[in-house]
């Protein structure tokens, strides 16, 4: 069975507290975008995995393998499988490239073996794989809270284009959170972002874009801030880092602006992408 695994963007991300178990509670507004990996799982004589990108590990370090073993163990599946991953989402980008692949494993097994899992059952499995995996199960705009396990769909009326830029470097989520310090400066636009998406208020949505991790990422590598400013100066109505980075996105409802941005930035940075929301 073959399935697309879509990337995500954080329009809003706040870190509200550090938990006793070492994880962080989050408030996020996330959207799925038209950038995807392709995962294929077929029954085989032995369990093997291949990827079209040589730099992607195909062992226990890969979220696909983690989710695969979880599903096999949980549902006592005896079959072996060949797993093939076509990787289009860049790594260490804040786009949930690994998480969305793990979510695809859960969805494929649910269909392949007719498990008839409820949304909550899939979420309970997904949170054991990774924080962004529950959101990636559903490919819908949503509020995401807790450590990623509380997913509330948003009835989005807004539509817009996104322009993605990834510099040469990536950012490790684990490393960034290890350096991150909880402060009293709280983003106050969480519900404002939700209402803007629901009410087709483009201006309010752009004004509500927020990422608590961005300043820490800029401290680690100032080029993050430089690219944000480049996109704003180019004419985008909003720009921010997604997740823990290093991808920065620009927002516009002007398709011509995105097309011109692709031409302007394609030789400047190793990854640029015109995309939009799905769902």
* Residue 37 annotated to the active site: no
* Residue 8 annotated to the active site: yes
Which residues 6+ apart lie within 8 Å of 88 measured at CB?
35, 36, 37, 38
Name the E strands within 19-141: 24-44, 48-51, 80-86
Determine whether 15 is exposed, middle or buried from the number of CB atoms within 10 Å of its CB (0-12, 13-18, 19+): buried
Count CB atoms within 10 A of the CB of residue 124. Answer: 14
Which residues 6+ apart lie within 8 Å of 117 measured at CB?
106, 110, 125
Q: Sort strands 142-146 and 2-18 into parallel, antiparallel or unpaired.
A: unpaired
Q: Is there a contact between 186 and 14 (Cβ–Cβ < 8 Å)?
A: yes
Backbone angles phi, psi at 44, to 5 degrees: -145, 175
Residue 15: name the closest of 170, 184, 249 by CA: 184
Say which of 37, 132, 237, 273 is annotated catalytic: 132
Say which of 8, 66, 143, 273 is annotated catalytic: 8
Q: Is there a contact between 83 and 101 (Cβ–Cβ < 8 Å)?
A: no
User: What residues act catalytically?
Assistant: 8, 132
């Amino acid at each position: 069975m073959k399935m697309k695994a879509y990337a995500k963007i954080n329009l809003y991300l706040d870190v509200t507290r550090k938990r006793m178990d070492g994880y962080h509670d989050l408030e996020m507004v996330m959207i799925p975008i038209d950038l995807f990996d392709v995962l294929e799982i077929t029954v085989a004589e032995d369990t093997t995995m291949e990827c079209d990108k040589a730099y992607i590990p195909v062992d226990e370090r890969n979220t696909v393998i983690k989710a695969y073993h979880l599903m096999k163990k949980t549902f006592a599946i005896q079959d072996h499988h060949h797993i093939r991953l076509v990787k289009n989402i860049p790594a260490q980008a804040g786009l949930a490239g690994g998480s969305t692949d793990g979510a695809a494993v859960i969805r494929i097994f649910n269909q392949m073996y007719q498990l008839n899992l409820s949304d909550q059952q899939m979420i309970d499995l997904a949170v054991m794989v990774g924080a962004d995996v529950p959101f990636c199960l559903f490919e819908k705009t949503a509020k995401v809270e807790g450590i990623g396990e509380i997913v509330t769909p948003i009835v989005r009326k807004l539509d817009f284009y996104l322009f993605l830029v990834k510099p040469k470097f990536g950012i490790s989520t684990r490393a960034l959170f290890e350096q991150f310090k909880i402060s009293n400066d709280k983003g106050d636009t969480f519900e404002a972002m939700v209402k803007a998406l629901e009410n087709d208020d483009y201006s309010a949505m752009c004004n509500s874009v927020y990422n608590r991790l961005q300043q820490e990422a800029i401290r680690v590598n100032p080029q993050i801030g430089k690219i944000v400013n480049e996109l704003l100066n180019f004419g985008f109505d909003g720009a921010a880092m997604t997740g823990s980075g290093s991808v920065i996105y620009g927002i516009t409802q002007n398709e011509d602006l995105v097309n011109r941005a692709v031409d302007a930035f394609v030789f400047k940075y190793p990854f640029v992408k015109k995309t939009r929301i799905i769902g």
